[in-house]
A and B are shown apart, each in its own frame.
Chain A
Amino acid sequence: MNVEEIRKDFPIFENRKIAYLDNGATTQKPVQVINSMKEFYEKYNANPHRGAYTLSLEATEIYENARKKVASFINAKHAEEIIFSKNATESLNLIAYSYGMENLKKDDEVVISIMEHHSNLVPWQKITKVTGSKLKYMYINDEFEIPDEEIENKITSKTKIVGITHVSNSLGTINDVKKIIKCAHKVGAIVIVDASQSIPHMKIDVQQLDADFLVFSGHKMLSPLGIGVLYGKKSLLEKMTPFLMGGDMIEYVYEQDTTFAPLPNKFEAGTQNVEGAYGLDVAIDYIQKIGYDKIQEIESEVVSYARDELSKLEFLDLYLTPNKENHSSVISFNIKGVHPHDVASILDTEGVCVRSGNHCTQPLMRFLKIDSTCRASFYFYNTKEDVDRLVKALNKAYNMFKKYINK
């Protein structure tokens, strides 16, 4: 399939003549995923895990098939290592509360990177404060990458948990998670990988990575909103206590005590988002049909073009690693002397959708000594024309502001 054919699968591009460059926030949905929502409610809607009637059993089957699909998609050893959640944020909170709270002791250390999204940062502030442990950061160099020695110096015998984003949502830097995991395992620490920004673009193999936990949101990879994934090694998940309590996650409930269901139900309290899981299942089919090789081929061409074209604009500051092999599909930039919100508003009038702000990475912005950036983030349906529209709109914004800048 070429990009023109792929774009035909995305109805939004028929309805909106936009250059959609906010894929790091959420992706557009192919017609197959959109139709699966309708199909679910027209043919299969019932509460799973409850009824003894055929319809409920079929809804259960749809839900459990989605779990199996996710397991094979990321090469998990067991389907019950896949826990469905609302999103990556909920998955990370589950780990923080059910693993972190129970396992961290005074003076233990949690190590995360300065480029973490608030969702892999704020929960650790809370958990380390409550347990008396310490939160430490791996910082980046002037190429926007975490140097090897930073990893080796920060992960020590005191480290019990390492949280790392696979790809930075603000910088697009691809982190060497394999190295980080090796370092952490050497000292007996467990590693949580936030794959929210990587799994839409690259093959994830949890066994090959040897990740202890890995999380992502469905909606950043073509799925509906409201479905997320937590992968955890079975040996770890089995020892953890439940995060949310209620229906469906129990075995026996007495007046004063409860025993809990086995994995994965132990972590899935209440009626689950079956429609979302089904949509995620169909989204995975779609990604596999295109294939990661093709996705990378398309994206590397467009992102490479964007890197080149944006680099030519002397009025821009780019926050971008010079090492292409360590860069995914996110480009952060600012027009020198102009606030990113003004830039984004002007881009909007040209039909160019970019995010502006701190991208839920305030500590990173503070570290870089900036308030915020504009962020263009690409997916495999973006084209060089989208990049051209971005460049044209940026020139327009610059021309509006230039006579007022630094007067």
Chain B
Amino acid sequence: MEDLTDVYNELIMEHSMNSYNKKKLENADYSEIGHNPNCGDEITLEIKMNGDIIEDMAFTGHGCAISQASTSIMIDTLKGKTINEAKEIIKIFIDMIKRETTSEDDLKKLEDAIAFKNVSNMPARVKCALLAWHTIEGILNKEN
């Protein structure tokens, strides 16, 4: 990798170490644990729905900077979205990390989550970046 700060950038560092999304949610509709047993990363993702819209989300847990920041930024990105919008964004994010999409129009939909683009250059850390996204994917698939 060319430059570490491509991955460990200001936004990711801030979210990983001092996330305002790291808290318990009252009256959550969903609470799901996501974990990577090999790393020991573990998050609990809580979601409050309002009809079709993801009204609020928060997480607790522990793990590396990438997994924690990815969870926090995902929450910022998906809050206020409908289930279908969220699903589309989740797919774009996963494709980006797996280097399966480069469409600029698609990537714009990721908002801040585009900060993880360069994780695709660190194969050992891909699963860290995807942990929260796979977890919410599981929840939303249940919702439908």
Query: A residues engaging B (CB < 8 A)?
Result: 337-342, 345-346, 348-349, 357-358, 362, 365, 371-372, 400-401, 404-405, 407
Contact = CB atoms under 8 A, between A and B. Distances in A.
B17 A339 contact: no
Interface of B: 1, 4-5, 7-8, 13-14, 16-18, 38-41, 62-66, 122, 124-125, 128
Contacts of A404: 13-14, 16-18
Contact of A342 (B14, B38, B62, B65): B65
24 contacts: A337-B17, A339-B63, A341-B39, A341-B64, A341-B66, A341-B124, A346-B4, A346-B8, A348-B124, A349-B1, A349-B4, A362-B40, A365-B40, A371-B40, A371-B63, A372-B39, A400-B4, A400-B13, A401-B17, A404-B13, A404-B17, A404-B18, A405-B17, A407-B17
Contacts, number: 53
Contacts of B39: 341, 357, 372
Contacts of B13: 400-401, 404
Contacts of B124: 341, 345, 348
A371 B39 CA distance: 8
A339 B64 contact: yes
A83 B54 CA distance: 60
A348 B122 CA distance: 10
Given A340-B64, A400-B8, 20 more contacts: A337-B17, A339-B63, A339-B65, A341-B64, A341-B124, A342-B66, A345-B7, A345-B122, A345-B124, A345-B125, A348-B124, A349-B1, A349-B4, A358-B40, A362-B40, A365-B40, A371-B62, A401-B65, A404-B16, A405-B17
A407 B20 CA distance: 13
Contacts of A345: 4, 7, 122, 124-125
A372 B62 CA distance: 11
A348 B4 CA distance: 10
Nearest to B10: A404
Contacts of A346: 4, 8
Contacts of A357: 38-40
Nearest to B128: A341
Contacts of B38: 357
Closest CB pairs A-B (n = 6): A339-B64, A404-B17, A341-B64, A371-B40, A342-B65, A404-B13
A357 B63 CA distance: 11
Given A371-B40, A372-B40, A401-B13, A341 B125 contact: yes
Contacts of A405: 17
A372 B65 CA distance: 14
A350 to B, nearest CB: 10
Contacts of B63: 339, 371
A339 B68 CA distance: 10
A365 B39 CA distance: 12
Residue in A340, A372, A405 whose Cβ sees the most chain B Cβ within 10 Å: A372
Contacts of B1: 349
Contacts of B40: 357-358, 362, 365, 371-372
A342 B17 CA distance: 12
A55 to B, nearest CB: 43
B118 to A, nearest CB: 12
A121 to B, nearest CB: 15
A339 B62 CA distance: 9
A19 B53 CA distance: 51
Nearest to B15: A404
A241 B102 CA distance: 59
Given A357-B40, A371-B62, A404-B18, A342 B4 contact: no
A342 B18 contact: no
Nearest to A346: B4
Nearest to B122: A345
Nearest to A348: B124
Contacts of B4: 345-346, 349, 400
Contacts of A338: 65
Contacts of B65: 338-339, 342, 401
Nearest to A371: B40
Contact of B8 (A340, A342, A348, A372): A342
A174 B67 CA distance: 35
A335 to B, nearest CB: 11
A100 B65 CA distance: 43
Nearest to A396: B4
B129 to A, nearest CB: 12
A358 B122 CA distance: 20
A407 B13 CA distance: 12
Contacts of A348: 124
Contacts of A342: 8, 64-66
Contacts of A407: 17-18
Nearest to A407: B18
Residue in A337, A349, A407 whose Cβ sees the most chain B Cβ within 10 Å: A349
Nearest to A339: B64
